[in-house]
Amino acid sequence: MTTLFKSSDRVIFWNLNRKAIQRMLDYDYICRREKPSVAVIVHPSSDTEIMPFFFGSTEVIIPVRKSIKAALELCSDVSVLLNFASFRTAFDVCKEALQFSQIKTMMVTAEGIPERFSRQLMCEAKAKKVSVIGPSTVGAITPGALKTGNIGGTSIHIARTQLHRPGSVGLVTRSGGLFNESCHFIYQNADGIAEGVAIGGDRYPGSSFLEHLLRFETNPNVSFSVLLGEVGGQEEYRVIDAIKQGKLTKPIVAWCIGTVAESFDNAVQFGHAGAKANVALESANEKNKALKAAGCLVPETFNDLPRLIAEAHTRFSSVRRSVEADVPDMPLDYDEANKQGKIRKKSNFICTISDDRGEEATYAGVPISDVATPDTKYSIGDVISLLWFKERFPSWSTDFIETVIKLVADHGPAVSGAHNAKVTARAGKDVISSLVTGLLTIGPRFGGAIDGAAKYFKYGREQEMSPSDFVRYMKQQSLPIPGIGHRIKSLLNPDKRVEVLKTYAKSVFPQTELLDYALLVEQETTKKKENLILNVDGCVGVLFVDMFRSLSKSDEEIDHLIEAGLLNAFFVLGRSIGIIGHVLDEKRLGMPMYRHPQQDILYQK
């Protein structure tokens, strides 16, 4: 028994048509093939040698090569070429394939190949005994063994028409669309197809109706055949001759589409390049008459075809299927399943502050364009309140936020952050790397005491500790009070930034209870040393607590913000401005690599 494909056949797929390749692998999976039918992809312009696909729900890798030669060297068992090249390239691909005796069957899907090329291809292929399906086709299918590209449609259509297992009807058409439709009503009225080929819509197809019907004649699984011809060409008359010569003995249900052409005054060119009657005998009606006269079962109209197929099945086929083999469930692609609402998956991330899905991203629901330009009256403080706190705070608090950022932006080149960044920049590092080294110095002794100050001053106040009791408590805990002390600032050399903050808060804040408490603590600590002042970290920390309390945030919410390290973030945001300035300064000055003077280092044995 010869069928076009066997279940062990594997193919070279020429061109990168992911959808068609995946449909083939899905079909292979439904047919329970051991491995994918696509052995290798040829894609001359590919920049990769592997391509992932799914075989069921398992990911598999299909190799990619730049030429048929390289593909055949990789897969010596391949004898089928599926030519998915464009009409501009397809003929050259066929010519290249015909150089290799390993290739026994070629399918050419392209529409629009010039007829002289098709005829040349037919002659060369015939001389080399290579079977050609197409051009202008979706190809062929041997149920349970292999299908080419998109023929038979999606996995859902395959399952509905049981195309994954052989039936008892041979099917040959020109049209791919009508092929799939025929599979449907052959399954409904008979028991499915044993083999099916769409020879393509060109006037000179690479293989004829007759060639495939003769093969069906040798296939014991084929009880009868369905021939769906069409207006144009004379392929059907070669079938009639073979019937008359006794070469075709199995019953044939036949119909040529395009009978409507007779309703027009002039010859009609239908969609297929070959679908036009150049002479009377090429008309659909003439062909249907001749097929009927030769003994084929020809319905009165296309619509009557399914009934005639059912009648043929009853008369000529002994196969009666009561229960269908279950089709393996085909895993849905994630996107498809998602679209159908068939899966649900926990998100890995949650975002509550902004949304980039719409036409324009939003900050806590406010479109960027409503925030961006000065005329919108939104400040940086407003943007921070939207993106950090998900609401627009009143102006006195957003102004305070901006004031903090401006005040902490820089404090000269000598401080830890600036120094580290300058040294890094002079080592030749870029702005971002230099900025990061500066930011990494922020901690309990430099800019990173804001959260600590808020936490401990708030704690002392909540525990109703007197300032002196609070200082004593922290000493007992061996904890320096965060936000107290400065290397150069003191009562005699006050930190102007702290003065500005205190004056500003007193003028705009609804209340400054924790600042007042911290200033009383400062009175205690400066009794010991004049530089144990409330520094800028401490002042900022306590004022944010006063601000949140004035905005009716609960103590729990405030503690949560402090625990998250939110307040130090204001220093990071502001000081990044200054650190970047120092880095640019170094770049601008072209300063050399910095090496610390050895006389400034105490070397100890």
Which residues contribute to the site for ligand ACO (CB under 6 A)?
Answer: 445-447, 480-481, 484-487, 525, 528-529, 531-532, 535-537
> Shortest Cβ distance from residue 415 to ligand LMR (Å)?
4
Q: Which does 532 bind (CB under 5 to 8 A by kind): ligand LMR, ligand ACO, none?
A: ligand ACO
Peptide bond into 52 cis (omega under 30): no
Q: Which does 167 bind (CB under 5 to 8 A by kind): ligand LMR, ligand ACO, none?
A: none
Say whether 87 sits in a helix, a strand or coil: coil
Which amino acid does the sequence have at 350? I
For residues 525 and 296, give the distance between their C-alpha atoms in angstroms, rounded to a whole number.
111
> Shortest Cβ distance from residue 507 to ligand LMR (Å)?
23
Q: Which does 531 bind (CB under 5 to 8 A by kind): ligand LMR, ligand ACO, none?
A: ligand ACO
Residue 484 gets which letter from DSSP?
B
Pairing of strands 50-55, 11-14: unpaired
Closer CB to ligand LMR, 305 or 418, in the complex: 418
Closer CB to ligand LMR, 281 or 440, in the complex: 440
Instruction: Single out the catalytic residue among 164, 212, 272, 582.
Output: 272
Nearest to 308 by CA among 182, 219, 179, 165: 182
Closer CB to ligand LMR, 156 or 577, in the complex: 577
Catalytic residue flag (residue 272): yes
> Shortest Cβ distance from residue 390 to ligand ACO (Å)?
28
Nearest to 109 by CA among 152, 149, 80, 79: 149
Measured CA distances, 453 to 165, 460, 521, 526, 540 (Å)? 76, 11, 12, 17, 9
CA 588 to chain centre: 44
Closer CB to ligand ACO, 226 or 536, in the complex: 536
CB 21 within 8 A of CB 60: no
Q: Which does 28 bind (CB under 5 to 8 A by kind): ligand ACO, ligand LMR, none?
A: none
Closer CB to ligand LMR, 315 or 487, in the complex: 487
> Shortest Cβ distance from residue 537 to ligand ACO (Å)?
5
Q: Which does 250 bind (CB under 5 to 8 A by kind): ligand ACO, ligand LMR, none?
A: none
For residues 170 and 173, give the distance between their C-alpha atoms in angstroms, rounded to a whole number.
10
> Shortest Cβ distance from residue 358 to ligand ACO (Å)?
40
Instruction: Kindly list the residues in this chain that would bind ligand LMR in the complex (CB under 6 A).
Output: 411, 415, 446, 487, 536
Q: Which does 481 bind (CB under 5 to 8 A by kind): ligand ACO, ligand LMR, none?
A: ligand ACO
Peptide bond into 374 cis (omega under 30): no
> Shortest Cβ distance from residue 411 to ligand LMR (Å)?
3
Segment holding 590, helix H or strand E: none
Nearest to 486 by CA among 524, 438, 543, 537: 537
Closer CB to ligand LMR, 176 or 578, in the complex: 578
For residues 154 and 184, give the distance between their C-alpha atoms in angstroms, rounded to a whole number.
13
Residue closest to ligand LMR (Cβ)? 411
CB 532 within 8 A of CB 484: yes
Catalytic positions are 272
